[in-house]
Structure 1
């Protein structure tokens, strides 16, 4: 990758590259080298205002006149543009946030294109309206119209797919969007702008404005916005929810998690160990749905601790651009310090570290943290209750199924979870008892065709699947009299 191409000193508003109103910009630092990766424009309230106006103009103009077939074709062109950039986009994200490249190619490279293709097919095969016989005579036409202008606010950990989870259904529904990506991964967000130009979307359908929290708050409360879609921390989600509640503005919130992996008495530990990195430490632990609490039956506790410890100890830590790397650096020095602070808290709590516990000596540069396992952890402790967002696992013993379920549910979060058993029917029954929006049995992977989201402090609403399209549609009933 040519480093000279990494500076983006313009915002994307109204289908054009424009300079920020106040000339704001920020350096982005590469997670593995601590060197400046590039420079990104940063928008202000005035830039947000311009983007919302552009989105409204497009909604009331050419984009609002597109047929379903035209929107689907536009989404397919968008998907093709993203797919043609998949490998370079994936490498850029790995440099920004430390994600191992083997994962980044799948989720940041090809995943977003797949989402746009999925929603293009979905709207082609879903009627925009249906006619229902009325219980009192006559008929009712139920139309599904676009909600309007969408404020999409996305985080740095999975910047491309988490943006696509909002952009694809929003555009499929006929909405227009102002995308505010996280400053830490602002550079890759401009790939969406390039794709919009290549797909020949009407000006203003998609606007990309990296900005700080203050400008993000301005966007959330903007009178020209009709719905907010946010992925990020629970604390920020609560603040956004309060604003949207006061404004009676629809909002989707995909927030934090502290998920549990229940190891059943009959679990195949080899299967669990083989999937551990992907389920519990994916993206260096910077994943909201990771099963970072491991609940082990007391009768097999020592075997579980040994299997987890040996697996984590042997993970490959290093350059995120190396396909053999399983654990890369964290996104920033602040995030590394946060994770190390939790490790220190675990040590103060007297919990046993079986592997890891610090900064790897082999990585003098970059924001690396050793993948760490704590054993004998009390489920009420900070490291078991708070979202660490790094490569740290906590193992807790349980006695009997009821206690395992109680421990899994003893959390303010409810985003994900996993169950490990040799009996699938038992796994399904156990999964049904977990207070969570999603659960995996003997694995965990998001399905583009199924809803994803949480309960409790993990958020409101769902993304992906047909359920991910409906939040961007406004039902309208038109009552027809008898003929």
Structure 2
């Protein structure tokens, strides 16, 4: 295979000095990649001028629909990616972790983009800030797409997921992408990129691909660009020191080496469901992708009394793992990605072996042309005095068991890794969970806690989910990828906008209290989704509240709280002048004032948000309602969500309640 780069709309064949790529299974040469001189300055400009402009012209919903279309397109062709991926040493279950996981991430971001972001080009970040006494001058934080390119450098272990988990939030945020995968597995990434480009879903310039070295690419990045990196701490440090990145303040995130840990709670003993779960989790994390996962468990931290039972149970389970050709259905663990990776893993295992005893496996590896090794399980008898077991990552099926006395000791050992992507805890004890989170949270990007109650639905120690951040402090690089919309914001600039309610309404596409009201030609409930205007407002007539209303509501609903039924008791309450109307009575009467009862485009009331009661209403008071179209969000081809701002005022014009009503309206 001749692995080509795709830059400035053209495929570019490998050039002079191209690197030969070998099969992890057979050791035979299967591909050539890289070499030659690539026009990186032109590629960056092409991304900014073509891809960036095209993406920014779309709304968040437009970009979300593209992500979903890409996910569907790839899902229909994933078998082709599976077949290529076998030569990386991955088994079928490994493919599903990588390829299906990447496609699933696209689906999640597509859904979140439609559900949690507006059908607009500006994202509102947080609530309004009133900067003046009368509310005529206000502030709103918003996020807008950065006007550069997202360069994404990925590791060899996840050639598809590693790309798509970065690409999804970048495209949703409105930034074009230049993907640079690790050369060892770039042939799988290239096939996936070809599929996405052939689909015609992405606009021109939104996606480019580099096979091999990046040349002088980093020299051309500026303050509007983003560099996202996954790989070793040494490479991450080299990138952080790059003069151009420092000089131009290029936004940079890294997801690096990680000495992840798993802690067995002191409440868990052999024979319990939690003990079996712990052993299963550790074994799986050692063997999935042959341990070549940034989230794999490297340190197994268990109570002193559980060290021997854990070693015995783990060794028994690891002995059942069949190793061999990943195309063989009986194989449970395939090969490391390359002969050089095999040599590196065994060298690092030797370093760990200076402080720990090998209790399972063979540090000589498995003879033959492929990059095969056995799982290697070590036991460190004195982890408090040890150094290398806490700072050496053998990026393969290698892990070390170590004991602890007090739970605080377990937390200290977990933190000795200097920062990880994930630490897991198996416990049923809430106090244990709280102590671990409080003591270890500062050093770990994710804390995964599991027991018999949740294990049926849990995603697993080593499975980063697009809904949650994936990254960690210190040694782990300090980055926070994914995390739902948090990941999208990384590719956007937060800016504070100040102005009048009318100006903020225009900028944000959402009506702000105090902004100009629009009078519609008819009752807003008679108007279809597309006919309603932001700011369209209905003012209702007033309704007087009687004591009979209050008592009838109390008896009818069963809500006979003293503030509504006992004058003396209510008067002793510092919040009420005497008996008052129920808050929910006011909401019911408000609906009666603004609802149009006849069949029309309003299909359903789906809830209300931000309800506040500001002032009590007594018998004899009146209420009136102001109903305003605050925001509109399409949901599908048939209907969309309308968010209404509802304000209830009394006979003096004072606010007594305020909330946001949600309805589904037909197009």
TM-score for the superposition, normalised by structure 1: 0.90
Corresponding residue of 1:13: 7
Gaps of 5+ in 2: 269-273, 451-459, 503-667
- Match of 2:471, SS state, is coil
Q: Are 1:419 and 1:441, in contact at CA under 8 Å, matched by a contact in 2?
A: yes
Aligned to 2:40: 48
Query: In the alignment, is the contact (CA less than 8 A) between 2:350 and 2:363 conserved in 1?
Result: no
What do the CA deviations read for 1:278-310 (whole angstroms, capped 9, x no partner)?
234431111111111111211222112211222
User: 1:169: Cα distance to partner?
Assistant: 0.6
Q: Does 2:101 match 1:116?
A: no
Preserved contact between residue 74 and residue 199 of structure 1 (Cα < 8 Å): no
Tell me, in whole angstroms, the C-alpha distance in 2 between the residues paired with 1:169 and 1:157: 20
Match of 1:308 among 306, 310, 314: 314
Q: Kindly tell me: are residues 350 and 407 of structure 1, through their superposed partners in 2, closer, same or farther at Cα, counting changes over 3 Å?
A: closer
Match of 1:164 in 2: 164
The corresponding residue for 1:462 is 480
| Equivalent residue number for residue 270 of structure 1 | 276
Would you say 1:418 and 2:424 are equivalent positions?
Answer: yes
The answer to whether the 8 A contact 1:101-1:322 is kept is no
> Do the aligned partners of residues 408 and 61 (structure 1) sit closer, same or farther apart at CA in structure 2, a change above 3 Å counting?
closer
- 1:129-165 C-alpha deviation (Å, 9 max, x unpaired): 3383432242335432112211110010112111111
Residue 406 in structure 1 maps to residue 412 in structure 2: yes
Counterpart among 75, 79, 87 of residue 95 in structure 1: 87
Who wins on radius of gyration, i.e. which is larger? 2
Which residue pairs with 2:345 in the alignment? 339
Residue 206 of structure 1: how far off its partner (Å): 0.3
Which residue pairs with 2:219 in the alignment?
Answer: 221
Deviations 1:235-286 (A, max 9, x none): 1112222333443111111111001111222223222122222234431111
- 1:42 offset after TM fit, Å? 4.4
Picking from 351, 360, 363, the partner of 1:358 is: 363
* Structure 1 residues 430 and 412, CA gap change in structure 2 (3 angstroms): closer
How far 1:197 sits from its partner (Å)?
Answer: 2.8
In 2, Cα distance between equivalents of 1:300 and 1:35: 44
Paired residues of 1:82 and 1:112 also in contact (CA < 8 A): no
- Structure possessing the higher relative contact order (Cα contacts under 8 Å, 6 or more residues apart): 1
The alpha-carbon distance between structure 1 residues 60 and 233, as it changes in their structure 2 partners (threshold 3 A), is closer
Give the aligned partner of residue 139 of structure 1. 138
Distance 1:234 1:248, change over 3 A: same
Q: Which residue of 2 aligns with 1:155?
A: 155
Contact persistence 1:418–1:439 (CA under 8 A): yes
1:438 alignment partner in structure 2 = 446
Deviations 1:385-430 (A, max 9, x none): 2111011111112111111111111122322111122335633542
**1:202 & 1:59 partners in 2: Cα distance?**
6
CA distance in 2, matches of 1:469, 1:133: 23
CA–CA separation in structure 2 for the residues paired with 1:396 and 1:277: 16
Whether 2:258 is the aligned partner of 1:257: answer yes
CA distance in 2, matches of 1:334, 1:482: 62
Deviations 1:13-49 (A, max 9, x none): 23332345x45533221101111223334463x3323
User: 2:187 maps to what in 1?
Assistant: 187
SS in 2 for 1:387: coil
The verdict on how the C-alpha distance between 1:373 and 1:188 changes in structure 2, with shifts beyond 3 A counting, is same
Distance 1:18 1:335 in 2: 28
- Greater shift after overlay, 371-380 or 446-455? 371-380
Structure 2 partner of 1:58: 50
- Conserved in 2, the CA contact under 8 Å of 1:260 and 1:418? yes
The residue number in structure 1 matching 2:21 is 28
Report the counterpart of residue 471 of structure 1 in structure 2: 490
Contact 1:26/1:42 (<8 A) preserved: yes
The 1-side partners of 2:82 and 2:438 are apart by 36
Partner of 1:376: 380
Task: Give the superposed CA RMSD.
Answer: 2.3
The C-alpha deviation readout for 1:68-103, integer Å capped at 9, x for no partner, is: 33222222221122212212213322312x222212
Relative to structure 1, is the Cα distance of residues 350 and 53 closer, same or farther in structure 2, using a 3 angstrom cutoff? closer
Moved more, 453-462 or 440-449: 440-449
Q: Is the 8 A contact 2:228 2:252 kept in 1?
A: yes
CA contact (8 A) 1:193 1:207 kept: no
- Report the secondary structure of 1:321's partner residue: coil
Q: Return closer, same or farther for 1:463/1:386 CA change in 2, 3 Å cut-off.
A: same
- 3-state SS of paired residue (1:437): strand
- Separation (CA, whole Å) in 1 of partners of 2:166 and 2:70: 14
> Contact 1:15/1:206 (CA < 8 Å) preserved in 2?
no
Match of 1:209 in 2: 210
The aligned residue for residue 3 of structure 1 is none
TM-score, normalising length from structure 2?
0.66
Cα distance, 1:353–1:57 mapped onto 2, change above 3 Å = same
> Aligned residue for 1:76?
68
Call closer, same or farther: CA 1:290–1:9 in 2, change over 3 Å: closer
Cα 1:100–1:482 shift into 2, 3 Å: closer
Q: Please state how far the C-alpha of 1:173 moved relative to its aligned partner.
A: 0.7
Moved more, 337-346 or 203-212: 337-346
